[in-house]
Every structure is written in structure tokens, then in C-alpha cells.
Structure 1
Amino acid sequence: MPHTGYDGPVIDPHMHLWDFAADVHPWLSPANFSVFPGIDKLQHDYLVDSYLADTAGQSIVASVHVEALWDAADDPVNETRWLQTLPKDRGVAQRYVAACPFGTPSTESTLRVQAAFDRVVGVRQTIGWHPDPQRSWVTDQFLTRNPDWRQGVETTRELGLLLEFLMFPWQAEQVVDLARAFPEVTMVVNHAASPMERGAADLAAWQKNIAELAAADNVAIKISALGTYDPRPTDESFAFVIDTIVNAFGADRAMFASDFPVGSIHLSFDDIYGYFRRVAGKYSPVSQAKLFHDTARRLYRL
């Protein structure tokens, strides 16, 4: 589809693939339909051809696969092994942000196995805690303070991997604390730090969190999943989030991402990148290139 605005190459630094029939993503089960509205739309295979169809015409030259919450009862390295079997000639899933639960007896050995794959450049931790237990991904609000959990961060540092977070606004202070405790580890906040509560006071608190996160030089952020958290998206509502992030982090530590296919629950790929291109049109060409391509290329060693 033709588009206006930035017309250079695009790297999508946050997407997922899965073989639904393999039944290794329990979060997609009907038991979660009421907790995460819309995920019933994701109950199908999403493979390389699926992503290419969704992104046609958007100048995607490479993408980064982020672990898709593989079954915790299975070896998380099996997701990486499966990704290795997929075609790589079209730029899809050129790098991986892999899974490895921290704070377990197998954390160190799993991290080392994951890091041995050339395409693995980072690992992701889900630390999203919400005051409503049904909306929480974890039960321990202060998981990141656990010394055993932090040993995983130390091993990540040793292996030279990025550390990504699926976090909610209540964990911003914890991520900043981690960033200062491990200044050699580049940390990447997913999904714009999840502006999930939409009241004026909530968004003001989220803006404060963004400023706190940006003050840590080794923290970067993905501008993604905005449609997930915005019930009535407009150019103006996207601009509020994008401008807040770019003003705080700068284009050197921020990047646009799709979160596909999860993002497809609410918006098409063309819709998402249409918002990105229109809002970013007021930025300099250099900043636009960084947000759409250069920052991701650098961080994910593409």
C-alpha cells in the first residue's frame, strides 16, 4: 500500500511468529479470552509468509523476533531452535530476543545455550505487575529485587546480551534501579512502558515514568503496542505518546515497532505505520531514519 511520510528502509524490532497447532503458547488459550480481550483473533499460525503479507509495501528490510511466551513447562531454547528452521531470505526474524526465566536453577545454563546462537542478541523478562491480580503477568510486584533473579542480569551482562522488559508503569522505578546497578547492560523497555491506564492523572504519571526511565543512559524504548492501550486512537493520541518518548529519550534510544501479530487485534500494520509516519513527519529526516531503522540496526547488530 502506498504511504506518505518517511520513505526509507524500515526495521521492525518487535514481532512474533508461532505455530499455533504446536500448542506451545498457553497464553493464547480460551482460558485467557476474558482477561486479554481479542486474543481469540490470534488463534492461528503466524509464520514468515503471514508477516510478509501483513507488511507488504511498508519497506521492511529486517525484523527482530521477540520471544512469544513459550510454554514455561518446556525448554525455552526450543523456541530458538524452531526459529532456526524458518526461512531467512526475506529479512524476517533476522535477530532474536530469546526467552530465559530468571531466578531458577537453570537460568545460567539456559542463558549460555541461548547466547550460543548467532542470531540471539538479547533476552526478555516479563515483570508486568498490576494492582488487579487478573491483569498481572507476575505475582511478585518486586521480582526484580530478588538476588537470585538479579543473578540472571549479571549473566546477561557477562554474555553481552540486551535485556528487554515487558513491564507495566508500576515497574518503572525498578527498571531504573536495575539500569543503575548494571550500567554495562543495555536495557530495552517494550511497548512504550505500557500506558495502559488512560485517565489524565494516569497519563501524567506515565509521562513522569518515561522521564525517569530516559534519565538512565543505558535504557532504550520501543514505541509499540500503542493501539493495544489506546481505545480510540487518533493522530493526536499517538502523537502524545510518541512525542513524550522522543522528547525524553531522543531518537538514538527510541524506535518504532509493530508488535505483530498481537498489534493486529486492534489495527492493521498499515494503520500502525501510517500513524508512525504521520506523527514523525515533523521530526528531522535524521531523527526519522533513526526511529524507523538506524536505532534498531545498531541495538540489534543488524
Structure 2
Amino acid sequence: MNEPLTAPRDIAKAAPHIAIRPEWLALRTEPALEPDLPIIDAHHHLWEFADKRYRSRDLLDDLASGHNVRATVFVECKTHYDTDGPEERASAGEMRFALAEAREAEALGTFTRVGAAFVGNVDLTLGAAAGPALDHLIDVSEGRLRSIRNIAVWHANPDVRPSAATPPARLLLDPSFQAGIAQLAPRQLAFDAWLIHTQLPELCQLADKFGDTPIVLNHVGGPLALGPYRGHRDAVFAAWRDDMARLSSYANVHVKLGGFGMPLFGFDFERTALPPDSASVAEAIRPYVETCIETFGASRCMFESNFPVDKGCFGYGIAWNAYKRVTANLPASDRAALFHDTAARFYRIR
């Protein structure tokens, strides 16, 4: 394990993301384990904001770590929204941006199909009126749109800030939102759910009501180690595990395995003098990954990089090496599902 910094800096503070430090990340690199294992990165972002950017060329730099990433799934992050036209269609600008980035990556001759599928955003609280906006997003994405994400992360305690989004409480149970969810299945669209472990019962209710809508839970459901939950990992894990078991009874629900570089997990990878190696990351995340696989089965789990969000804690190659270490003893068919096949089926990637 890495030695802690002599005087740990409060890098994360209350922010949901950890700042990326390229010089620090460069202190730890590893060759790719099992470099031929096919991978679909089921969750990454591309963005350009005033204070940060991560575009296709940056992703390609990370993909050069040596893993066999065949395709990726771009996930909405509210970048490049249109500033003119109807507000309910503003997210079409993000789809055009993602499409342009995917085409740039292709033009550069990359082996990886960057943005083979898109997860977009339409405000589902529009209810039935979300339908035309969804149709517009499908058209603008040129058919790459596969899922919609409305972040539902909410907690009453202001010290618990796992996401930069600020949705209302109990969003998933709002009648207007559920009327919007009803617009997805007829358009062959899934729902990407991002919430924290205290909200898992709400997702159970949504999954029960919309059994014909494929749902994928982001970041293993966000078991918290922030604010009052810090120092109570065992109790949180037990509550999270029980609710994940209940959620697994809904056959339409899948799980993304990743997001472990976010402060909400409380692993503090960013506080060490050297970046963590993949063995250290694997040791920390193993209970969560193994519980999800045991509970949902490999056919309903998929690995994600969550880059560049997780890049504040470890490199791209380190993340995939850690996932390979955690699953090293599983049957080959399970590993094929976890690293590639589940994401290919869920997001209809050919």
C-alpha cells in the first residue's frame, strides 16, 4: 500500500470530483494485463468547460494504455448545450458535440469505436411532452442514442455532496418524471440511473412500475462514505448490499461497476504520495464488485471507466488492470460478459 502524504491536502473537500494532476498520475504506470481481452468502456464523458476539458484526443491518450477497448459509451455531462431554441431541446447540442468527437477519433484511425453509443439527457419531468424532445435527440445523434440519464442524486445533509447536480428529492417517484420515463420504452431507449445508496428503494419502485424499460444503475449505486457516513463503511455496506439484493429481483435492472475514484466512496486514493497501483485499487473495490456480480450475475453487470471523473485518483490502465485482477478467478464466459458482452447487448453495440 502507498504511504500517506506527510501533510494530506484536502484535495476533494466537498466537491464531487477530484482534480486531475497529470504529473502525479505519471508517477505510476503499469503494462496492461491480459491485453487481448475485449472491452467496452460502458461509461465515460467528453466535455469542454471553462475550467476543464476532456475531448476525444484526451480519451485516445488514455486508451493508449494497452487495453483492448473495442468501443465506448459516451454519457451526458451537460456540455455544449444549445443556447438558442427551445430549452427542452438544448441538450441536442451535446449530442452534436459527441458525434463530432466520435468522428474525429475515427478520422485519427483509432481501433476503438469512440462513442459507439450515447447516453443523452432530456428533462423527463416534462412528462408526455418529453417525447418530441427524445425524437429530436435520436435524430441529432444519428441513431447513436441508446439511453437517457436524469441524475437523481439527493441527500438532505449538505455535507453529503456526491454529485454536482442538484435535483429535487424523490425525483424518481415524481408523477411527471414517471410520465417521462413512459416515453422511453416505445422508442427503444433505456434509463441510466445515477443515485446514492439511500435512494435504492426509490429505484426499486421505479423498476417495478416500468418493467419494460431497461435500467442501468451507475457507479454501483453510490454507497456513501461522505459526511455522517464516513467511518461507518461496514454499516453502509450492509445496508447497500441488502437494497442491491432487493433491486436485483427486477430483471430489467443492470449495474455499472465503476466510479470508485469519486470522493463519495471515501477510498482517498488521491491522498497518497504515489498514485495507487492496480493491486491496491482491486483490494479496495473487491467487496463492491464481487457483491454486484454475485447478486445480479455477470450478464447484468458491466465495467465502466467513469473517465475523466475517476482520473483524479488513478490512470486509465490502472483501472482496467484492477478490474481484471478482481475478476481473475471467474469463468471466461462471465468475464466476457462483464468486460464486453453485457454492455454490447444493453447499449445495442454491434
Q: Could you tell me the TM-score, scaled by structure 2's length? A: 0.76
Matched, 1:4 2:19: no
In structure 2, distance between residues paired with 1:214 and 1:266:
29
In structure 2, distance between residues paired with 1:260 and 1:210:
24
Q: Which piece of structure 1 moves more, 199-208 or 79-88?
A: 79-88
Paired AA for residue 93 in structure 2: N
Unaligned 5+ runs, structure 1: 24-42
Query: Map of 1:83-102 to 2, 5 A cutoff?
Result: 83-86=98-101, 87=103, 88-89=105-106, 90=110, 91-102=113-124
In structure 1, distance between residues paired with 2:144 and 2:169:
32
Matched, 1:288 2:335: yes
Kept in 1: contact 2:45–2:307 (CA 8 A): yes
**1:95-116 deviations in whole A, cap 9, x for unaligned?**
1000111113752321121123
Kept in 2: contact 1:122–1:161 (CA 8 A): yes
Paired AA for residue 180 in structure 2: G
**CA-CA distance at 1:73 after TM superposition:** 8.4
**Corresponding residue to 1:77 among 92, 99, 102:** 92
In structure 2, distance between residues paired with 1:246 and 1:157:
26
**CA-CA distance at 1:72 after TM superposition:** 7.6
Query: Map of 1:57-68 to 2, 5 A cutoff?
Result: 57-68=66-77
In structure 1, distance between residues paired with 2:125 and 2:175:
8
User: Percent of counterpart pairs with the same letter?
Assistant: 28
**Corresponding residue to 2:248 among 214, 228, 233:** 214
Unaligned 5+ runs, structure 2: 1-29, 84-89, 270-279
Matched, 1:168 2:196: yes
**Corresponding residue to 1:192 among 217, 220, 234:** 220
**CA-CA distance at 1:169 after TM superposition:** 0.9
Kept in 2: contact 1:6–1:277 (CA 8 A): no
**CA-CA distance at 1:65 after TM superposition:** 0.1
In structure 2, distance between residues paired with 1:52 and 1:85:
15
1:181: which partner in 2? 209
Matched, 1:121 2:136: no
In structure 2, distance between residues paired with 1:163 and 1:146:
15
1:238: which partner in 2? 285
Paired AA for residue 9 in structure 1: P
**1:36-69 deviations in whole A, cap 9, x for unaligned?**
xxxxxxx332111110111211111100000013
**CA-CA distance at 1:231 after TM superposition:** 2.4
**1:3-24 deviations in whole A, cap 9, x for unaligned?**
224731111010011123xx5x
Kept in 2: contact 1:5–1:278 (CA 8 A): no
In structure 2, distance between residues paired with 1:53 and 1:139:
33
Paired AA for residue 257 in structure 1: E
Kept in 2: contact 1:66–1:97 (CA 8 A): yes
**1:201-253 deviations in whole A, cap 9, x for unaligned?**
11111111211221111000100111322325543221111100000011000
Q: Which piece of structure 1 moves more, 242-251 or 164-173?
A: 164-173
Distance change (3 Å), C-alpha of 1:71 and 1:168: farther
Q: Could you tell me the TM-score, scaled by structure 1's length? A: 0.87
**CA-CA distance at 1:71 after TM superposition:** 7.4
Distance change (3 Å), C-alpha of 1:8 and 1:139: closer
In structure 1, distance between residues paired with 2:317 and 2:100:
28
Kept in 2: contact 1:126–1:166 (CA 8 A): yes
**Corresponding residue to 2:134 among 111, 120, 126:** 111
Query: Map of 1:145-160 to 2, 5 A cutoff?
Result: 145-160=173-188
Structure 1 moving runs of 4+ over 4 Å: 71-74
In structure 2, distance between residues paired with 1:133 and 1:266:
24
In structure 1, distance between residues paired with 2:171 and 2:61:
39
Instruction: Please give the secondary structure, in 2, of the residue aligned with 1:226.
Output: coil
